[in-house]
Amino acid sequence: MTTSSITLPDGAPEEVVTHALVRDVDLSAFGFNGNLALITLDNGQDHNRPNTFGAKSLASLDAAITDALSRKPVAIAITGKPFIFAAGADLSALAFLSKREQSLAIGKLGHDVFRRLGEIDVPTFAFINGLALGGGLEAGLHCTYRTVATTAFTGLPEVFLGLVPGWGGATLLPKLIGPERAVQVIILNALNNNTMMKAKDALALGVADAVFEPADFLERSIAFAAKVLSGDKKIERPDYSNDPAWESALAKGKAAAHKKYGGADIAAPTRALKLIADARTATRSSGFDAEDVALADLVMTDALRSSLYAFNLIQKKRKKVEGAPKPALGRKVAKVGVVGAGLMASQLALVMVRNLKCPVVMTDLDQARVDKGVAWVHGELAKLVEKKRMSAETAGRLTGLVTGSVDQKVFATADFVIEAIFEELSLKQELFKNLEKIVTPECVIATNTSSLSVEAMTQGLEHPERVIGFHFFNPVAIMPLLEIARTTKTDDATTATAVFVGKELKKTMVITKDSPGFVVNRLLTRFMGEVTDAMDEGTPADVADNAMRSVGLPMSPFELLGLVGPGVALHVAETLHKNLGPRYRISPTMQRLVKENVKAFYIKNEDGGYIPNPAAVALIEKGTSPSTGEQVRMRALNALAEEARMMLDEGVVSTPAEIDICMLLGAGWPMILGGILPYLDREGVSEAVCGKRFHEKGVASLP
């Protein structure tokens, strides 16, 4: 296999080549006679561009291995440039592939080069000095031994992206660490939003043989290699071929995929589990051949292109906020005020103090509520210490920064005040009038409203230009999206300050027009409304709720209802009905659930599973016009397309990509669908409902 046999199509980006450089290391200083040939991977870029493997990079590594062998070393080692080992395959060209033979060739080339590290006549070592993901970690798995820096993160994220570990990982890892741990790394970690292994995790799982601090990582890794070569250090490798846990491990992986994708049969985890199962008896050659086939099959699917579109979109939006004013216009935020001390307000206070590391003061109607909110924040900081995610010194300092009061005059020196009180417009209007009399003219006043008009809250204010929507998603610390709603009067300084705060909070932001429901709640409420309406019309509840299972959503509509709460869902629906019209219908079933204080549509049974809540079932509207599951599915998709087109025409956001990022990060829309609008385009719904696609052909789909 040569790189010349891989011809990428027109339009594919030029590869940033990762060069493999060889030098000799004399081991005599480490107590062993002989030279170690050390290969260093370096793409010549700064730390913002990690090493990756494209065809030319693999050719460079192949040549480096040949060069290393010509030096007659006692061992060969591979490491990376400072802080980076390798981030895996260069994915930038995959979306441009149009022939299965191309993806087969890329898979085989990676195997041909990497397997040399595991099949040459001298021991090989991977000194994983920094980030090692996908093909980067797989290069290390081909080596005989692995050391990892304490600051390094490693993982196999392929299933998360709609692929499989295709350069040896699916075959080698089960043999190295056993079926249970392999399923954990390849399936469970990937499906859990691409969880990476810390160094201690890699060591505990058996992926790493030793862990060293970064300051003298290379020196200690070389010393480790010398001890292994001399026999002073023995590394035992268990035989997992007869491990009784194979079936249970595979079943656990299958269950995790089923839960993640709402019961839909998604190809990537299914193919990965098959490769893991086959690894029990497969030879290296037969396992690698099977990986090539699986990788080629998956690359030639819309699911892969969808995942790449979503992944690249998320990376792009993390770095740049569309429509944001110049950062220099933003003001310094040295003190934050939080109006309210309930759960949402307390979560806001916690995320603010953890990231801004400035004084945060909370207020509420009485001292008992204030004390409860402050105590919750202090307690969460203490839990972080218990979990060893924060030092006691840091927690002590942050705890001292969070205080409370019943007197809003404590906001007089605040730079940023956010409210999280009850969703009632008149209450928020009154609050803002009171705040305006207290805070400085430069202080930003933000609202965490999910559906009310931000501009309406500013009525009667002398400085409405300082008010902005700052809508978080629950749970605040975990959900990455932040909708920033700018009114017609919000000025650039306020918006720039809000964006600065959002960046400090490590949120992905989308600036929206001040429109009812902004993006996520508007689309989710429309979608949920079509499902509940179908049920009210007489469609069996299970048929309506399961209509979208094949799409792969992580939760069904009624499962989501239990998480959000019928009260919140009804309030948002009523607000959108009032402001956007009768297409947002008010469900009589929802009204009854709220009136009777029924919190969820599903409840746990004695076996720990979930069954319909009899109290909720008894309150369902008895309609006489049932629909089929497919009719409900198309009805919901048509509604989403119609609403998205309206939002773009109204200028709620400026591009379809912003709707996609909101639904990916705010509503859990699956990565494998590539965003809501590419999915509607591929299904033909966009053209059927709106007369045109949202994206150009080829976005998140086969060229």
Report the catalytic residues.
Answer: 138, 158
Could you write out the three-class secondary structure of 421-456? Answer: CCCCHHHHHHHHHHHHHHCCCCCEEEECCCCCCHHH
* Burial class of residue 258 in the structure, from the number of CB atoms within 10 Å of its CB (0-12 exposed, 13-18 middle, 19+ buried): middle
146-182 burial string, b = 16+ CB within 10 Å, else e? bbbbeebbbbbbbbbbbbbbbbbbbbbbbbbbbbbbb
Which residues are 404's β-sheet partners? Answer: 362
Contact 62, 108 (CB under 8 A): no
What is the bridge-based pairing of β-strands 124-128 and 145-149?
parallel
Give me the torsion for CA of 677, 681, 682, 688, rounded to 10°: 130
Structure-token pair, residue 675? 């965003």
Of 568, 544, 566, 533, nearest to 632 by C-alpha is 544
Structure-token pair, residue 5? 């046999």
Structure-token pair, residue 687? 């053209």
Residue 249 Cα to chain centre, angstroms: 24
Contact 385, 396 (CB under 8 A): no
3-state secondary structure of 24: strand
**CA–CA separation, 127 vs 218, rounded Å?**
7
Contact 152, 85 (CB under 8 A): yes
**CA–CA separation, 193 vs 269, rounded Å?**
14
Structure-token pair, residue 212? 């060293």
Contact 403, 367 (CB under 8 A): no
Of 650, 642, 653, nearest to 530 by C-alpha is 642
3-state secondary structure of 220: helix
DSSP character at residue 14 = P
Structure-token pair, residue 284? 């290296």
3-state secondary structure of 649: helix
Give the amino acid at 502: G
**CA–CA separation, 2 vs 98, rounded Å?**
20
Packed helices 284-299 and 267-278: angle between N→C axes, nearest 10 degrees = 170
**CA–CA separation, 279 vs 276, rounded Å?**
5
Contact 434, 407 (CB under 8 A): no
Structure-token pair, residue 131? 């980030």
**CA–CA separation, 81 vs 42, rounded Å?**
5
Of 114, 109, 136, 139, nearest to 4 by C-alpha is 109
In whole angstroms, how large is the CA radius of gyration of the chain?
Answer: 28
Give the amino acid at 691: G
